[in-house]
């Protein structure tokens, strides 16, 4: 018996059993109404909440004005002794990267992973990505990988550096989902990232850097110049 035939048969058997149970009338839940009561909207409040939460999850947050971030990046890279940084081409941050990485090697993620595995798995020290937004409630980043900025850029290198603009802060996951209309056009892999990867699988002892990055650095670009 061919596999697809077996699957088709299983499909109709399962669905007919489910349909035989008869429909139950139940109105759709009003999710928006639930979140409407909890909205925080002032930018300052969002920023403070985001920073406190992200730091609580062991992310490093560096507040910097939009013009000064390449310099801030350079000092983060130096402090962490990063010798090879990887980035995606043609992103909003790409143009500024060469100047921030004069003292180290900058790799572009411009070939398929099959070719880049040795670099990604063995030699790159850090990956830098843009973000689509931040969530104040939980200190989470929204990542939207695409052809320019692949999924593994924020996953395989031991350090993940993310650039987040203050204007892109939202109060909750529901808020960002609705206002950016995610349901209309999801990428192949949308991500929420909150802190570095971690595990407590051995005797409930928390260890960072389980399978993903050991460190997460967030460059938070302020709208007004920081003092």
Closer residue to another protein in complex, CB, 68/187? 187
Least distance in Å: CB of 16 to another protein? 9
Closer residue to another protein in complex, CB, 100/116? 116
How buried is 200 (Cβ within 10 angstroms: 0-12 exposed, 13-18 middle, 19+ buried)? exposed
Least distance in Å: CB of 194 to another protein? 5
What strands, in cross-sheet order, belong to the sheet with 60-65? 60-65, 215-222, 159-165, 126-130, 84-87, 105-108
Closer residue to another protein in complex, CB, 13/66? 13
Least distance in Å: CB of 176 to another protein? 9
How buried is 69 (Cβ within 10 angstroms: 0-12 exposed, 13-18 middle, 19+ buried)? buried
Torsion of CA 85, 107, 168, 39, to 10 degrees: -60
Closer residue to another protein in complex, CB, 133/150? 150
Least distance in Å: CB of 67 to another protein? 31
């Amino acid at each position: 018996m061919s596999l697809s035939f077996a699957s088709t048969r299983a499909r109709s058997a399962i669905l007919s059993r489910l349909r035989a149970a008869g429909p139950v009338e139940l109105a759709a839940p009003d999710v928006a109404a639930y979140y409407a009561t909890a909205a925080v909207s002032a930018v300052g409040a969002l920023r403070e909440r985001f920073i406190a939460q992200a730091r609580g999850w062991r992310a490093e947050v560096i507040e910097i004005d939009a013009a000064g971030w390449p310099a801030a990046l350079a000092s983060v890279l130096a402090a962490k002794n990063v010798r090879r940084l990887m980035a995606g081409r043609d992103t909003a941050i790409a143009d500024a990267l060469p100047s921030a990485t004069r003292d180290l090697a900058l790799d572009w993620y411009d070939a398929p992973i099959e070719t880049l595995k040795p670099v990604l798995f063995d030699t790159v020290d850090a990956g830098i990505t843009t973000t689509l937004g931040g969530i104040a409630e939980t200190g989470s980043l929204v990542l939207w990988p695409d052809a320019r900025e692949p999924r593994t850029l924020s996953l395989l290198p031991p350090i993940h550096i993310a650039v987040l603009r203050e204007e892109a802060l939202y109060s909750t996951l529901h808020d960002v989902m609705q206002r950016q209309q995610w349901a209309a056009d999801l990428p192949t892999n949308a991500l929420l990232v909150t802190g570095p990867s971690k595990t407590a699988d051995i005797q409930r002892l928390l260890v960072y850097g389980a399978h993903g990055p050991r460190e997460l650095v967030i460059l938070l670009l302020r709208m007004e110049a920081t003092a």
